[in-house]
Homo-oligomer: A and B are copies of this chain.
């Protein structure tokens, strides 16, 4: 039984932590196939972890086991959970890091992992990735049934992803979700939030980031002139602010959490999310 186990953590790659967790999985199931999604989630940043796993998991085959360890509460009463959806399984701390998975999936089972005989004893209060989560991933990958790990719960932690808000019928207030490796500024505006922007001939608009204004929309990065900053529908499904072969974030000094304003020059074109 060759099962895929993915890893999404804020552990970085400089220490032994990730390798050690992989050893634990392989010690239980040497045939497991291990794939890194990212170990560079911002430290302790549950929303960043949620964005990362949500973008990646749905491209993996059915029955993939996703370990998501962004766990500032390690060693406290926060529960380890095992989530099964129609096609995937997730192991994570119950701190909301799977919130965006919950948003996408209609059929969910969430269990409190309480079967301590699957853990590596004694459990270190500072490294459940090794002593709890990797162990459960290993046994799951060997075919142990989800129900063996604990009871279903309904009071699991979830948060709502930040959504853009309509200020008036021409103006929407949004936020920078993240800046990617290329310096692309990912906002939380989707085509559903601002359908007018993604029509074949969109109305005139301005996007405000701090003191900067962006009013061009491109379909591909390479359509931008050198040094030009423009809006583009990115591969994550969000409106991005980008530049051609350059970092828009560096040019504009933009960071995660920065407020973004979207203003349509014409009337009556903005959608009403959150209104």
Chain A residues packing against B (C-beta within 8 Å): 2, 4, 6, 8, 11-20, 22-24, 26-27, 30-31, 33-40, 43-44, 51-53, 55-61, 64, 72-76, 124-127, 130-131, 178, 180-182, 219-223, 232-235, 240, 244-245
Contacts and interface: CB of A to CB of B under 8 A. Distances in A.
A75 B219 contact: yes
Nearest to A223: B76
Contact of A26 (B61, B124, B182, B222): B61
B16 A76 contact: no
A23 to B, nearest CB: 3
Contact of A220 (B27, B60, B74, B232): B74
Contact of A75 (B52, B127, B222): B222
A126 B234 contact: yes
Pairs A-B, 7 closest by C-beta atoms: A75-B220, A19-B37, A127-B235, A23-B59, A12-B181, A14-B40, A23-B60
Nearest to A63: B30
A74 B223 CA distance: 10
A6 B35 contact: no
